[in-house]
Amino acid sequence: MILFPPAKINLGLRVSGKRTDGYHELESLMLQLPWCDILEIVPQEKFAFTCSGIEIPGDPDSNLCTRAYRLLQQQYKLPPVSIHLHKNIPMGAGLGGGSADGTYTLLILNRLFDLGLSADKLRSYALELGSDCPLFVENMPQLATGRGEILEPFPIKTDGLYIHLLNPGIHVSTKDAFDALELGQQPFSIREILQKPIPQWKDQLKNDFETTVFVKHPEIKDLKAKIYENGALYAAMSGSGSTLFGIYDQKPVPLFPESAKIMEKIVLL
């Protein structure tokens, strides 16, 4: 069985405080994009995890796809499978690709072995993999609160809009980004801002991580300025970075068509 785990962007990201469980309290609108990895899982005599596309560093046993399989295998005594992941979405880029891969492993296994798991149960298992994994159980815009696990469908008009993504290949440590934050700086609720026309988001809809990431990596800040110069209605960093995106009402002109250092992707919503 083959499914296509999508990337996501954050429309606003407000971190209001640290919780007693060590996580942070946040608010963000999560929007999935039609830009995907490719995930195939088939029954096999012996478990195997392989990958292609963008190189995935680290131990395969720590990959979220492997962890997702082990989680359900322990609960439901699943037979061995072969997992192949073709990676298109860059890692450590604030696009949620790894989280989508892990959650879509749960979705495939649920269908492949007729486990009958409800969306709520799948979200519960996904949360064991990571705070933003539950987002990918269902493909719709969702307002995330709590540590990111409290999800509320949030209607937002995106038809006909273009998303222009730029990733400069700079790895931003999520832990370091959280540690450097000044908490609770945004005066407006993201829920309130998103009800306004997109051109009004520029001065109100903020990603709290930009303040510290832009200081450490001014070249990321410069890319955001270039997106606005290119005619974007709104531009921001996604997650803790380093990917930036712009929202356009017509197809934008690529900024770095010949660059080997900057990943550039334009998608139609």
Q: What is the pLDDT of residues 156-196, one digit of tens each?
A: 989 999 999 999 988 877 777 777 777 655 666 899 999 99
Q: d(Cα 160, Cα 183) in Å, to the nearest integer?
A: 35
The predicted model scores a pTM of: 0.93
CATH number attached to the domain at 162-268: 3.30.70.890
- The average pLDDT across 206-214 equals 91
CB neighbours of 136 closer than 8 A, spacing ≥ 6?
5, 6, 8, 32, 96, 99, 100, 103, 104, 126
pLDDT band for 97, please (50, 70, 90 cuts): very high
Does an H or E element contain 70, and which? helix 64-76
| pLDDT of 144 strictly over 90 | yes
Q: Cite the residue boundaries of each domain of the chain with CATH code 3.30.230.10.
A: 2-153
Residue 240 has pLDDT above 90, yes or no: no
Active-site residues, by number, are 8, 132
Let me know: does 143 contact 29? Beta carbons within 8 Å: yes
Q: What is the pLDDT at residue 185?
A: 59
Please say whether the dihedral angle defined by the alpha carbons of residues 56, 58, 59 and 65, taken in this order, is positive or negative. negative
- The answer, yes or no, to whether residue 251 has pLDDT greater than 70, is yes
Is residue 144 within 8 A of residue 213, CB to CB? The reply is no
- 35 pLDDT tier (thresholds 50, 70, 90): very high
CATH 3.30.70.890 domain position(s) in the chain: 162-268
CATH number given to 2-153: 3.30.230.10
Calculate the CA 90 to chain-centre distance: 10
